[in-house]
Structure 1
């Protein structure tokens, strides 16, 4: 059973402006929003801004799917990219919100093309 759905779109140029802005401001943003593993992944790619924008869209989509619960921090939502499709993990207040909803699985899709990054998140509960 689908418990939540969220979708978000981020302009890649906006993320590029943040990354190219004052170094201290960019660092504060990256440290507040992305986990060390996400930062390592994005920073190792040529299209750094596109990768960060896609992950930001995924986090926004997840918050929407969870119903925008209070207290969720960006770093509690982590996009994992290994082999195959990306996945999204929930920790802290995000995981607690998911547990309250009865979330058993999280589905994520991300894309970036033509100057935008987009993500969709589906939260699935156990079959009743």
Structure 2
């Protein structure tokens, strides 16, 4: 894998401080999600079926969100991208082993079971998540990293 230097500039009372942190990219996952497709998935299934894909925490958050369908689509896309970054896809990993936190705590991804084991094998210590809304689609990008 390759090393990536990440520079952050902090402002403290007008003074600038440059900090460079070196991380090693361990995996990359990208997913393009159709919000319409997710809306049909949500509308066409009961809670028990949704629990096959989403955890109770994710369902509670998404149902309470201002744009519920957008939240479900983002959650779905992050799960897909994380699975790709783990280099397994969803083969051997259950959807619920990848939990997405959209509450703004800064910890986007929580892994359980086989997903967590795979992340440990790859020495993944951190997840960097970005997304873009493009009309009726979401483009999700996930980078898995470890410290150098």
What does residue range 1-128 of structure 1 map to in structure 2 within 5 Å? 1-21=24-44, 25-68=45-88, 70-83=91-104, 85=106, 87-127=108-148
RMSD between aligned residues: 1.8
Q: What is the TM-score normalised by the length of structure 2?
A: 0.76
**How many residues of Structure 1 are paired with residues of Structure 2 in the alignment?**
124
Q: Which has the higher helix share?
A: 1
- Gaps of at least 5 residues in structure 1 are none
Larger CA Rg, structure 1 vs 2? 2
Q: 1:83 to 1:56 in 2, by over 3 A?
A: closer
* Cα distance per residue 1:65-90 (max 9 Å; x no partner): 00016421111111112336561111
The DSSP-based 3-state class of the residue aligned with 1:59 is: helix
- Gaps of at least 5 residues in structure 2 are 1-23
Q: Which has the higher strand share?
A: 2
Greater length-normalized contact order (CA 8 Å, ≥ 6 residues apart)? 1
